[in-house]
Amino acid sequence: MKKIMLVCSAGMSTSLLVTKMEKAAAEKDEEITIFAVSEAEASNHFDDIDILLLGPQVRFLKSKLEKRLADYNVPVQVIESIDYGTLNGEKVLNSAMETLVNK
């Protein structure tokens, strides 16, 4: 089972997107755990995730988190602003899964 973690400033704004992503995963019969945390909580989950998705508002954290996750072989991806803003859970999920397949 794949685990996708979304990170934003406080972990709140991504909760709606998580719900949309979970719905998209269920429609595809994919067994995926998707959850959102704040930037401060992210490091508590590094050893238990397959990919980390950043909300557009915290894109500045990408290089810092890539360095911290290098030993875990976990990719870091910034969610496209338009997909984040429109809560396009299916597109965000597809993008994450494509990254995981190609990692």
Whose structure tokens read 């934003």?
8
Whether residue 8 lies in the annotated active site: yes
* Cα gap 36→30, rounded to integer Å: 18
Q: Which of 4, 6, 7, 8 is catalytic?
A: 8
CB 63 within 8 A of CB 71: no
> Annotated catalytic sites, by residue?
8
